Amino acid sequence: MSFIRSYLWDTLEKILSTFDCLLCLFDEFVFFCNSCFMPELPEVETVKVFLEKNVINEKTKSVKIENENLRFVITTNVSQILSNSTITKILRRGKYLLFLYNNNFTLLVHLGMTGFFRIERKYEFRKHDHLIFNFKKKKLIFNDVRKFGFVKIFNAKEILNCSHLKNLGPEPLSSKFCYEYFKNNLNRKTNIKNLLMNQSFVAGLGNIYCSEILFRSNIKPIRPINLIKDYEITKIVDSVKKILLNSIKLGGTTIKNFVVSDEKIGYFKNELMVYGRDGMGCFKCKNKIVKITQSGRSTFFCSQCQK
DNA sequence: AGGGCTACCTGTACGC
DNA sequence: TGCGTACAGGTAGCCC
């Protein structure tokens, strides 16, 4: 009996300590989760919310550059400019993050394919750490395995006119992205998937969401845009907004499940209807999902449901 | 002018 | 087991 009691107690203690440990690492788990997938608009928005909670009004004591060789070399003036300044606001534009500082400088951040942030009280080096922001009681670390991401410093006045931001199309969740805007921009010679992927047409959509949006709209990704009917424009605009909003919402809820249940799956993986499902049955008609290559990128669709 | 292609990068999966 | 190769994708920059 005492053996059983002791065994149960040990087990309970183990479970509790694991749970406690998981809770402590909650913020890190959030970004491991993100790092499993390419950051598109909803993921960048989730990162933005995380940063708002953790680094707003925190004075940056110093910035250490562990490795300056990202997509663009990190200039040494980044650490000089940001030391002893305070982040007052975090903004998102498309897939870009903007850190606004109280000294009229703005740090432009792109997560690339695998970039993510984590917060630590005591810094522990991990492979592919590139940048460490030292605050009074914590550290913000930028890690990027494939180095497609970058950080660049700009004067606040120049930032909106920089080459990365000046040609970006409207935010898909804004009222600017609507039927009229879509209709007035169909004078390009391309197909619907490439149009949605084009950041100058609409900012923030990536390869995964484009496949999903077109499945929801019942439109084949290779369709030339001059053959898109008016009612289909409405359908696409609607799908863009619904899918993005749903994904942002899920980003905030199922991560908790991820932590508690320790399932090593991304939060929107369960929601994917076509992406990565080639050879498998369509959820609507059971027909096999097809994978093709468009402009060097994989596209997934159902030839039965999408015309 | 603008559309299309490719390099960049590294971990992972797979075949031999 | 171990090696080689293909693949994944966001963006800039080049080419046509």
What pLDDT, in 10s, does the model give residues A243-269?
Answer: 999 988 887 443 333 332 333 334 566
Lowest model confidence (mean pLDDT) among A177-186, A201-210, A254-263, A265-274: A254-263
User: In angstroms, what CA-CA distances link A169 with A2, A146, A203, A300?
Assistant: 68, 26, 5, 24
Tokens of A231: 């009612």
Contact in structure between A273 and A290 (CB atoms under 8 Å): no
Q: How far is the CA of A145 from the C1' of C5 (A)?
A: 20
Lowest model confidence (mean pLDDT) among A64-68, A75-79, A248-252: A248-252
**What average pLDDT does this structure show over A214-229?**
94
Asked if residue A5 has pLDDT above 80, the reply is no
User: In angstroms, what CA-CA distances link A253 with A5, A245, A256, A268?
Assistant: 36, 13, 6, 11
Type of residue numbered A28: E
Please report the pLDDT score of residue A267 as a whole number.
Answer: 57
Active-site amino acid positions of A? 39-40, 95, 297
Which pTM value belongs to this model? 0.86
- Strand B closer than 7 A to residue A183 Cβ: no
Please report the pLDDT score of residue A28 as a whole number.
Answer: 43
Please report the pLDDT score of residue A100 as a whole number.
Answer: 97
Asked if residue A274 has pLDDT above 80, the reply is yes
Contact in structure between A226 and A186 (CB atoms under 8 Å): yes
Q: How far is the CA of A128 from the C1' of B7 (A)?
A: 20
Smallest CA–C1' distance to B6, residue:
A296
- Based on its alpha-carbon atoms, the radius of gyration of chain A, rounded to whole angstroms, reads 22
Contact in structure between A95 and A206 (CB atoms under 8 Å): yes
Q: How far is the CA of A136 from the C1' of B3 (A)?
A: 49
Nucleotide in closest CA–C1' contact with A128: B10
**What average pLDDT does this structure show over A273-291?**
93
Please report the pLDDT score of residue A12 as a whole number.
Answer: 39
**Which comes out higher in pLDDT, residue A268 or A27?**
A268
Nucleotide in closest CA–C1' contact with A194: B3
The pLDDT mean for chain A works out to: 84
Asked if residue A16 has pLDDT above 90, the reply is no
H/E segment holding residue A250: helix A230-261
Asked if residue A23 has pLDDT above 50, the reply is no
Lowest model confidence (mean pLDDT) among A51-65, A135-149, A198-212, A255-269: A255-269
Please report the pLDDT score of residue A37 as a whole number.
Answer: 56
User: In angstroms, what CA-CA distances link A245 with A33, A89, A191, A248, A267?
Assistant: 18, 22, 25, 5, 14
Please report the pLDDT score of residue A250 as a whole number.
Answer: 82
Asked if residue A20 has pLDDT above 80, the reply is no
Q: How far is the CA of A12 from the C1' of B9 (A)?
A: 44
Asked if residue A303 has pLDDT above 50, the reply is yes
Of A7-11, A268-272, A299-303, give the range with the top mean pLDDT.
A299-303
